[in-house]
């Protein structure tokens, strides 16, 4: 293959130019991450806690429907813990006392769920689950988020976890 000499020279010149323009960028800007300028620890937002709670709420349903009562109790405990954390880290949300609202809104449905789980009673579990979902939605309504409506899930949120126990 033959190249016309002027074309070859022009190409080489272009390559040198391009390489030099990279060399002008200071080393730190190209490869090194800048150290963080903030000393504040990361605090999850209320919506982050809610996303976790939503996942557990869905798992709670499939665990209960599968009569895997240990898992059902576990998921309910995780929901309770997430509410405690939400109250601790986001006690006030847009002027609303979230920490003070959680207890009165969720205590009764959670107690109902605990009773149903202890009794291994699927019918009571379903009722209590719906009561909890309504409680979730009612708090959303109280906070101007009435468009976030919680209901029974129709499909498991993840397929890499089996809800039924082998007998
Ligand atoms: C004490 C009040 C309160 C209770 C109780 C509550 N929520 Fe929320 N939830 C909120 C508020 C306020 C937001 C909006 C948060 C934001 O935008 O940062 C929210 C947002 C959400 C979202 C939207 C998050 C997203 O990323 O899409 C979901 C889903 C959700 N909640 C699920 C639930 C479920 C499930 C329950 C019940 C098990 C529940 N919430 C109980 C106040 C509540």
Maximum Cα–Cα distance across the chain? 89
- pLDDT tops 80 at residue 114: yes
Tell which phi-psi region holds residue 120, choosing left (phi > 0), alpha (psi between -120 and 50) or beta. left
Identify whether the C-beta of residue 128 lies closer than 8 Å to the C-beta of residue 112. Answer: yes
Domain ranges of the chain: 46-92+99-142
Mean pLDDT of 90-114: 97
- Which atom of ligand 1 lies at the shortest distance from residue 54's CA? 35
Instruction: Report the percentage of the chain scoring pLDDT > 70.
Output: 78
- Residue 1 binned pLDDT confidence (cut-offs 50, 70, 90): very low
HEC assignment per residue over the chain: CCCCHHHHHHHHHHHHHHHHHHHCCCHHHHHCCCCCCCCCCCCCCHHHHHHHHHHHHHHHHHHHHCCCHHHHHHHHHHHHHHHHHHHHHCCCECCECHHHHHHHHHHHHHHHHHHHHHCCCHHHHHHHHHHHHHHHHHHHHHCCCCCCCCCCCCCCCCCCCCCCCCC
Look at 17-31, 61-75, 131-145, 150-164 and tell me which has the smallest mean pLDDT: 17-31
- Which atom of ligand 1 lies at the shortest distance from residue 90's CA? 18
The pLDDT of residue 14: 53
Instruction: Using most ligand atoms within 8 A of CB, pick from 136, 149, 153 the residue to mutate for ligand 1.
Output: 136
* CA-nearest residue, atom 35 of ligand 1: 54
Identify whether the C-beta of residue 102 lies closer than 8 Å to the C-beta of residue 83. Answer: yes
* 102 alpha carbon – ligand 1 mean position (Å): 11
Lookup: tokens for 136: 């979730």
**Nearest to 111, CA basis, from 97, 93, 87, 131:** 131
* CA-nearest residue, atom 28 of ligand 1: 50
* 62 alpha carbon – ligand 1 mean position (Å): 20
Name every protein residue with a CB atom under 6 angstroms from any ligand 1 atom: 45-47, 50-51, 53-54, 57, 79, 93, 98, 101-102, 105-106, 132, 136, 139-140, 143, 145, 148, 150
Find how far residue 65's CA is from the centre of its chain: 23
List the CATH code of the domain at 46-92+99-142.
1.20.120
């Amino acid at each position: 293959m033959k190249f016309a000499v002027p074309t070859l020279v022009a190409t080489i010149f272009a390559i040198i130019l391009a390489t030099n323009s990279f060399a002008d960028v200071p080393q730190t800007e190209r490869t090194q991450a800048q150290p963080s300028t903030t000393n504040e620890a990361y605090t999850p937002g209320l919506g982050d806690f809610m996303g976790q709670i939503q996942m557990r709420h869905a798992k709670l349903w499939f665990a209960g429907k599968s009569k895997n009562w240990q898992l059902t109790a576990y998921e309910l405990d995780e929901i309770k813990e997430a509410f405690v954390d939400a109250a601790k880290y986001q006690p006030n949300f847009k002027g609303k006392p979230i920490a003070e609202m959680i207890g009165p809104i969720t205590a009764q449905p959670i107690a109902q769920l605990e009773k149903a789980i202890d009794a291994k009673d699927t019918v009571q579990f379903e009722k209590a689950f719906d009561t909890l979902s309504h409680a979730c939605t009612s708090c959303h309504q109280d906070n101007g988020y009435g468009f976030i409506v919680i209901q029974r899930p129709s499909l498991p949120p993840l397929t890499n976890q089996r809800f039924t126990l082998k007998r």
